[in-house]
A and B are shown apart, each in its own frame.
Chain A
């Protein structure tokens, strides 16, 4: 039977692996959007999405594209950076080494060394896209090796559960990069994101072409938002990620007699209800508030899982 501590390592291996990848997506979106602008303004939202304005100021670095990009890619002191997430992923994998395949650990080492080599040199912004692609590929490969070689035991379930919750959370952040400002009452009249912006977002969620197939005609930004949030077949949609998580909990109970407690069940129910009842219009302040609520439910579920499985009393 799986130790609670190892369940925790598996859960966070899933979360951090997914986080490495999503940070590279956020940077891609930011960079793509910045390319259309003359100023550095496009690099402000990512700091807001992570509430990192203060943390970035404390680095003493000038606010400009290269510094923000490095802050999120290679700064090991930033807990929201890809470098930090990958370090944590590797340390969690290290604690799990006897329970994951040797191929998976091997790929983690190779992936880690790749990012370490990026860290050694100061990269230019023009290289950002290339580096993000490399990170995504490293992550894809790791997850592929896990999927192809992982024994589908409790370790696998917790790994998937962590990855699913992280993905749901990160997808909401991806959207919020444009909607966070609806938090500010004075900014209500700001122009809504246009079709170009949503296309960039769809691409970075690996959903652009699928979206074209589903909505070939007259698609508008609300359709794009609905697609990214609720499409049942898009692996990055909040809906798909949440269902994957629920399924994992069910299998834990069915296959390993690891029954969720009342806290987990309640949190699961709340998230399900939130997904089933979106606001009538997926735009503006309404969308932002809805995303906020989704993030809270996801967080509550993660905490409940932690209470029940990962940090036992005694």
Chain B
């Protein structure tokens, strides 16, 4: 790292720094060199303009209140995160391996249930999981693909090893920011990107459409694909708009669809009813079909499950895929990978204590101050207690909760997430980051180079979720 006023006062301390602790491509880091030509003031100015542009372009999530609709942007940090070509190779193959195992697991638990019979994963963990859908038992899906779009949340520890923190098999969000962040960087910081060889991300929509076509109901040529959204009030509505636009498919709501008595799905157009073959849905299982799940759902379409089970329509991700990304199942992933693929996992899990297992429970209760405790079946960073940062009252509270329902919790050692130089009010400072690569699966799998780098904007915070005030960075996979 060249001496530069921009980085004065920058100290990652004991954390692994994504920019300074490694030399990209074996030479001195070209990004750091280029950055050193910027003054803090210039960087701030460009960043402000970039954020204003995000707002105007409507790359936002919307918060509705009595006062009306407020469009907020996801805070954007202009200092990109880089991933070397060799690190990327590990991530790419590791993520695809994981998704292959997740799909095999799902096909099994909704099929012969061999893994449960063999006692590798406790039966109750699967069949009593709230995301397990018994309606899916015996349903055959094209290419046995259940999780067409998967997000694998990775973190990097103090030694620089990438670890899997969580799998997302339902409707992982954030990919629109990956692509829009890149576009924004190209517009706002062309000089920073000039001459740097970065793998492109812009063909995501085309790839996604291709994967959805591969998994359409069998024998359909040119299947008609739609994206099913809960509507404009959903906080991720921009992403739904983005994906529909990139794929060139209609953005429908449940009320735009009908299922006829022959279990075929149609959409209501200005020229009458038109057949639908494949639905990329961004609504939860619970709301999909009021005939089967929540009766009060206004978001879904009555009869959709009939159509799905009879193979007249494909749904991505599959109904019931959530059972695989549960935090309790996560703990068994190394064994699941070994069981189906007969391979060692390329990406390791974070060491995970399963409170339903007696020994682990005892260890967790003894070490609450050191561990991160997570309720299973939650997402978005809700209900997480970070031992080393929690108050005595919070520790006591989570202890009571674990004792009451041990099977509801897992715990992991506190990992000091890697950091990235990040623009803050007090200059460029280290902030913790994670990484969510996106894996698309039809007949085969493909990983979008890079993924969403989320950054905890508050000093010292390791919670990067956007619902908890996190921001994002452009992520460069070097060629």
Q: B272 — which chain A residues lie within 8 A by C-beta? A: 312
| Nearest-CB residue, chain A, relative to B247 | A98
A3 with B256: CB separation less than 8 A: yes
> A285: CB under 8 A from chain B?
no
Partner of A312, one of B55, B56, B232, B268: B268
Q: B251 — which chain A residues lie within 8 A by C-beta? A: 98
A3 CA to B227 CA in the complex, in Å? 13
> A209: CB under 8 A from chain B?
no
Q: Provide the B245-286 mask, 1 if CB < 8 A to any CB of A, else 0.
A: 100001111011010000000011111111000000000000
A144 CA to B268 CA in the complex, in Å? 31
Whole-angstrom distance from the CB of B225 to the nearest CB of chain A? 13
> A97: CB under 8 A from chain B?
yes
Q: B242 — which chain A residues lie within 8 A by C-beta? A: 98
> A94: CB under 8 A from chain B?
yes
A3 with B57: CB separation less than 8 A: no
Whole-angstrom distance from the CB of A132 to the nearest CB of chain B? 23
A5 with B232: CB separation less than 8 A: no
> B138: CB under 8 A from chain A?
no
| Nearest-CB residue, chain B, relative to A154 | B270
| Nearest-CB residue, chain B, relative to A308 | B270
B241 with A2: CB separation less than 8 A: no
> A4: CB under 8 A from chain B?
yes
B255 with A5: CB separation less than 8 A: yes
A224 CA to B240 CA in the complex, in Å? 50
Whole-angstrom distance from the CB of B218 to the nearest CB of chain A? 24
| Nearest-CB residue, chain A, relative to B272 | A312
Q: Which of A206-264 contact B (CB under 8 A)?
A: 252, 256-258
> B244: CB under 8 A from chain A?
yes
A4 with B258: CB separation less than 8 A: no
> A314: CB under 8 A from chain B?
yes
Q: A33 — which chain B residues lie within 8 A by C-beta? A: none
Given contacts A5-B253, A98-B241, contact A256 B58 (CB under 8 A): no
| Nearest-CB residue, chain B, relative to A314 | B258
Q: Which of A93-117 contact B (CB under 8 A)?
A: 94-95, 97-98, 102, 105-106, 109-110
Partner of B58, one of A7, A91, A97: A97
- By the criterion of a CB under 8 Å from any partner CB, how many residues of chain B are at the interface? 31
A3 with B269: CB separation less than 8 A: yes
Q: Which of B189-244 contact A (CB under 8 A)?
A: 231-232, 237-238, 240-242, 244
Given contacts A3-B250, A109-B58, contact A91 B270 (CB under 8 A): no
Given contacts A3-B256, A102-B57, contact A258 B232 (CB under 8 A): no
Interface centre among A6, A76, A154, A257 (most CB of B within 10 A): A6
A258 CA to B274 CA in the complex, in Å? 13
Q: A257 — which chain B residues lie within 8 A by C-beta? A: 271
> A87: CB under 8 A from chain B?
yes
> B3: CB under 8 A from chain A?
no
A1 with B58: CB separation less than 8 A: no
> A197: CB under 8 A from chain B?
no
> B69: CB under 8 A from chain A?
yes
Q: Which of A1-45 contact B (CB under 8 A)?
A: 1-7
Q: A105 — which chain B residues lie within 8 A by C-beta? A: 57-58
B71 with A109: CB separation less than 8 A: yes
A252 CA to B58 CA in the complex, in Å? 30
Whole-angstrom distance from the CB of B202 to the nearest CB of chain A? 14
> A56: CB under 8 A from chain B?
no
B232 with A94: CB separation less than 8 A: yes
> A309: CB under 8 A from chain B?
yes
Given contacts A5-B255, A109-B56, contact A314 B245 (CB under 8 A): no
| Nearest-CB residue, chain B, relative to A259 | B271
Q: A258 — which chain B residues lie within 8 A by C-beta? A: 270-271
A5 with B69: CB separation less than 8 A: no
Whole-angstrom distance from the CB of A12 to the nearest CB of chain B? 14
Q: Which of B445-475 contact A (CB under 8 A)?
A: none
A3 with B267: CB separation less than 8 A: yes
Whole-angstrom distance from the CB of A84 to the nearest CB of chain B? 11
Q: A102 — which chain B residues lie within 8 A by C-beta? A: 57
B57 with A7: CB separation less than 8 A: no
B271 with A110: CB separation less than 8 A: no
Q: A91 — which chain B residues lie within 8 A by C-beta? A: 69, 232
A106 with B270: CB separation less than 8 A: no
Q: Which of A256-314 contact B (CB under 8 A)?
A: 256-258, 309, 312, 314
A1 with B274: CB separation less than 8 A: yes
Q: B26 — which chain A residues lie within 8 A by C-beta? A: none
Q: A76 — which chain B residues lie within 8 A by C-beta? A: 68
A105 CA to B55 CA in the complex, in Å? 11
| 15 additional A-B residue pairs with CB within 8 Å, beyond A1-B274, A3-B268, A5-B256 | A1-B271, A3-B250, A5-B253, A94-B237, A95-B231, A97-B241, A98-B244, A105-B58, A106-B56, A106-B58, A252-B270, A256-B271, A312-B268, A312-B272, A314-B273
Q: Which 10 pairs show the lowest CB-CB distances between chains A and B?
A: A1-B269, A98-B245, A98-B244, A97-B241, A98-B241, A258-B270, A312-B268, A309-B270, A7-B270, A106-B56
**What are 18 of the A-B contact pairs (CB < 8 Å)?**
A1-B270, A1-B274, A2-B269, A2-B270, A4-B256, A5-B253, A76-B68, A87-B68, A97-B241, A98-B240, A98-B244, A105-B57, A256-B271, A258-B270, A258-B271, A312-B272, A314-B258, A314-B273
Q: Which residues of A contact B (CB under 8 A)?
A: 1-7, 76, 87, 91, 94-95, 97-98, 102, 105-106, 109-110, 154, 252, 256-258, 309, 312, 314
